Amino acid sequence: MNRRRLALARTETQFVHEPEIIESPLHPISFPIYQTSTFAFHDTQEAAEMFAEQRTGHYYSRISNPTVEVFEEKMAILEHGEAAVAFGSGMAAVAAAVFAVAQRGDRIVASRTLYGGTYTLFTDVLPRFGISVDFVDGHDAEAFDCAIERQDAQHSDGNTKLVYIETPGNPTLCIVDIAGVSAVAHKHGIPVAVDNTFATPYLQHPLKLGADMVLHSTTKYINGHGDGIGGVLVGSKDHVKQARKVMLKGIGAPLSPFNAWLNLRGLKTLPARMERHSDNALRIAEFLKTHRKVEKVYYPGLPDHPSHELAKEQMARFGGMVGFDVKGGRAAGEKLMNSLEVITLAVSLGDPDTLIEHPASMTHASFSKEELAKAGIGEGFVRLSVGLEHPDDLIDDLKKALDRI
């Protein structure tokens, strides 16, 4: 497949055009969906060379597919990485970041504020494979240093193999200093993986800030329409090659060609959508701060957010996610969510529709009460994925529901 990099300096144009595919005289604007499981070989020599990785090409869509490959190349360009590999879900991308560098007997240091599925992987699944995880306060880069030194002091071979962070963190919008944590990890020769799902490659570039791998649940903002599931990992050629070997060849978690096409479609409009998501979220966060039934608002775009200045440094905008504590705890939060008419009660995020959920009983239900408290997730905490509707309609809906409490 012929490709050409364009001399594009402006981000928004890159999202629409990179990379330009020169495949046939037809030159379709929307890259085709190669909906096939298998590709034929010209001869047995070509087949042997492909299986021996002596020749590039496609022979089985679990390993690679032209539509998926174009999506991977686009993500590598947009995230400023050497290569990318796509998966059937965001959780597969999280697992890939781990299995690219860690094996039985190794350890990981992770920020405490994490998506519930990631936390379950780290606390329940990885230990079955002999990989353990230490959790630290993501606000404190030195906490990572202490955890690494503590682990390595107990193991002469220095078995900490990965530092893993989310920023903004799910669901409390915790902001982690990517450059600071990367500097600490690299001092010990340890790579850093960043879940960039909340920010997207339009608002934040972890690899440019020092991280080694960046991953996304493409189900969210990259797809952007709530109609596909997927994940992607971007990083060095070596990390991506190992992740592809383990997760696609060994385990088998590929992104489908159709979902890759949906992601390519979503990327073209991502800048415009993230601008609107961010504008609407700021409006709603400012409204919630003034309402008597709201105890606290979590949004890095607010000047009183504890990491507002850091967010300004490493993000272009503040994104479309808002968290808030409702006065009256869980019962009040349930009353609010059950009273909404425009906003939809549903998990996930990044859709055109505004979605609301209760992390303690939904996305983070795997956390114990103690773990919820450590992560700052209260019984009255509500997570809002602000969509693309008119902000006044969203504010009116929230106001009416809050007034019913």
* Interval 195-223 mean pLDDT: 98
**The pLDDT of residue 149:** 87
Looking at this protein, which amino acid is placed at residue 386? V
Q: How far apart are CA 369 and CA 378, in angstroms?
A: 9
Checking if the pLDDT of 93 tops 70, the result is yes
Helices (H), 100-254: 116-120, 141-154, 178-187, 200-203, 237-244
Between 28-42, 274-288, 313-327, the lowest mean confidence (pLDDT) is in 28-42
Q: pLDDT tens for residues 166-191?
A: 999 999 999 999 999 999 999 999 99
Q: Where are the domains of the chain?
A: 21-266, 272-403
Between 1-10, 74-83, 203-212, the lowest mean confidence (pLDDT) is in 1-10
CATH number belonging to the domain at 21-266, selected among 3.40.50.300, 3.40.640.10, 3.40.50.1980, 3.40.50.1100: 3.40.640.10
Checking if the pLDDT of 71 tops 70, the result is yes
Which residues are designated catalytic? Answer: 62, 115, 195, 220
Residue 346 near residue 355, CB atoms below 8 Å: yes
| Mean pLDDT, rounded, of the chain | 93
* Interval 226-238 mean pLDDT: 98
Checking if the pLDDT of 278 tops 90, the result is yes
Q: Band of the pLDDT at 10, cuts 50, 70, 90?
A: confident
* Interval 241-268 mean pLDDT: 97
Checking if the pLDDT of 153 tops 70, the result is no
Looking at per-residue pLDDT, the higher value among 230 and 51 belongs to 230
CATH architecture of 272-403: Alpha-Beta Complex (3.90)
CA angle in degrees (0–180, nearest 5) for 325-330-332? 75
Q: How far apart are CA 237 and CA 174, in angstroms?
A: 30
Q: Band of the pLDDT at 5, cuts 50, 70, 90?
A: low
Q: Which residues does residue 2 pair with via DSSP β-bridges, in sequence order?
A: 22
Checking if the pLDDT of 268 tops 80, the result is yes
Checking if the pLDDT of 155 tops 70, the result is no
**The pLDDT of residue 372:** 86
User: Can you read off the two tokens belonging to residue 268?
Assistant: 């073209």
* Interval 90-113 mean pLDDT: 97
* Interval 262-267 mean pLDDT: 98
